[in-house]
Amino acid sequence: MTSFLDRIYNFSPAIVQNLMVTGYGLKMYRREYGRKFREKLDEFEKTQWYSESELRDYQAERLRALLEHCYENIPYYRRVMDDLKLTPRDFKGLDDLQKIPILTREDVKKNFRQLIARNYKPSDLILGRTSGTTGSPLEFYWDRQACVVKNVVDWRQKGWGGIHFGDKMAFALGRVVVPTKQRKPPFWRINLAMRHLYLSSLHMSKDNLKAYLDKLAKFAPVALEGYPSTMHLLAHYLRGQKLKFLVKAVFTSSEALFPKQREMIEDAFECKVFDFYGMAERVIFATECSEHTGHHINMDYGITEFIKDDSQESSNGGFARIVATGLHNYAMPLIRYQTSDLSEPRKGKCPCGRNFPLMDDVTTRVEDLILTRDGRYISSQILSHPFKPIKNIIESQVIQEDIDRLHIKIVREKQYNDDDTKALLEGLAIRVGPEMKFDIEFVDSVPRTAAGKVKFVISKVTAGDQIKL
């Protein structure tokens, strides 16, 4: 939704907001589902059972077609290949992909316009962006096919958990579906078009969680999806009340899922947790199957490499940086895109029989929860949203010093100004409430963890295992 529609939405009664959410759902259905979705899902139901050689042949064929498109229509890649005296004919197999240099976030920012396909009309481009939790979000364009394929791989995994498109589902993610100032239920909105219930992750306090569970009981979803920290809060509450809420599966993503969280969620909802890892850049999608032996790298979605700091591919194990190539986004292809995440391939095959290779859990930011004075727990993913539209932040960190004070460290671009600060504080206040005070500190750098990562949220209030529900 645009900011204008957001303002209309925020001032509308709940019944109108439900209609607007449903209208948005219909728009997404027309764009990303329907016949093309069903056809591609049928195709991917078959490719998941391909042999290793068939999967590599599939990747090689898709890669050749993509590189031909890039050479003819993407100015950046035409220049790169010409400088290296390469043409698409020089890429005869997957090993030849390494002839293309690694693409960094800075490369994308610097060459943004040159990475857009010349044979696409502006109306064919769908703007996307990363979460921007450690700095300015990275923007890029998708085409419709990339969106369809992303949904296909997502729903294929849901099928692994016994869930099918059209089943009732409840989601607890980061979108502000209920105005923060609202103090009474309903803390949810419904997309009637897709039978989806969207739970506000911003109102989950001890006093409100009963209302959430009552609504879930009435809605009767087949499955749940949310951030691990949010699903853990609901499970923690159920345990405290000595209750269970039965669903077929719980799907988690976007945060590190800790073993203790998984155990509590599976106990409270009496089902298995299916964690998955994807990126807004649409270059990699890794999903858990019913065997839960690791994350399957979906080879029909993209090509994944694990690169050590010396730019050598990791073949002997150990954590390495994920470098990935999406095979389906022709609007703005990202080839050998260097992510900020680390993982390592797992040896051996999964008992499920699929030949998608396995990778270990992704080492990413281990976050804390922010606790507000009115008892709400706010996850790091939710706090990341106010940073998304601000392009002049290089890195950032949020530290909760006290129950009513957040200390925000910002590494800023030269263009950063007071309007950026104002927009950031307004966005944060929407999520944590007007009682919270903010201290802004401009710094030269944000400290790294031992793994070289930035811990986006540090709470001295919820440090350790002090959640009390």
Number of structural domains in the chain? 2
Q: Which residue has the higher pLDDT, 314 or 174?
A: 174
pTM for this predicted structure: 0.82
What is the torsional sign of CA 15, 18, 23, 24?
Answer: positive
Let me know if residue 200 belongs to a domain: no
pLDDT at 451: 43
Let me know if residue 179 belongs to a domain: no
Let me know if residue 337 belongs to a domain: yes
Domain that holds residue 289: 33-167+222-364
Q: Which residues contact 135 (CB under 8 A, 6 or more apart)?
A: 387, 393, 394, 395, 396, 411
Q: Are residues 248 and 119 in the same domain?
A: yes
Q: Are residues 350 and 415 in the same domain?
A: no
DSSP designation for 385: G
Q: Is 170 helix (H, G, I), strand (E, B) or coil?
A: strand
Let me know if residue 217 belongs to a domain: no
Which pair of structure tokens corresponds to residue 324? 């990935």
pLDDT at 317: 61
Q: Which residue has the higher pLDDT, 466 or 25?
A: 25
The torsion angle over the Cα atoms of residues 360, 267, 156 and 193, rounded to 10 degrees, is -140
pLDDT at 206: 80
Residue 465 clears pLDDT 80, i.e. is over it = no
Residue 338 clears pLDDT 80, i.e. is over it = yes
- Residue in 453, 89, 456, 152 with CA at minimum distance from that of residue 298: 152
Which residue do the tokens 């089943």 mark?
A: 167
Which long-range CB contacts under 8 A does 12-17 form with residues at least 24 apart?
Answer: 14/186, 14/189, 17/177, 17/178, 17/189
Q: Are residues 428 and 326 in the same domain?
A: no
Q: Which residues contact 96 (CB under 8 A, 6 or more apart)?
A: 90
Query: Each residue of 265-281: pLDDT tens digit?
Result: 999 999 999 999 999 99
Determine contact, residues 281/140, Cβ cutoff 8 Å: yes
pLDDT band, residue 366 (cuts 50/70/90)? very low
CATH number, domain of 402, equals 3.30.300.30
Q: Regarding beta strands 320-326 and 302-307, do their DSSP bridges make them parallel or antiparallel, or are they unpaired?
A: antiparallel
> Which of 364, 388, 416 marks a domain boundary?
364
Average pLDDT over residues 123-129: 93
User: 221: left (phi > 0), else alpha (psi -120 to 50), else beta?
Assistant: beta
Which residue do the tokens 């529900």 mark?
A: 469
Q: Distance from first CA to last CA of the chain, Å, rounded? A: 34
Angstrom CA distances, 50 to 43, 161, 250, 258, stand at 11, 20, 27, 32
Bridge partners, residue 127, by sequence: 141
pLDDT band, residue 133 (cuts 50/70/90)? low
CATH number, domain of 330, equals 3.40.50.12780
pLDDT at 377: 81
Strands (DSSP E) found in 209-271 = 223-226, 249-252
pLDDT at 320: 85
Determine contact, residues 386/378, Cβ cutoff 8 Å: no
Q: Are residues 358 and 412 in the same domain?
A: no
Let me know if residue 192 belongs to a domain: no
Q: Where are the alpha helices (DSSP H) in 340-417?
A: 380-384
Mean pLDDT of the chain: 89
Lowest-pLDDT range, 28-42, 122-136, 185-199? 122-136
pLDDT at 73: 98
Bridge partners, residue 196, by sequence: 169, 191
Let me know if residue 449 belongs to a domain: yes
Which pair of structure tokens corresponds to residue 90? 């020089």
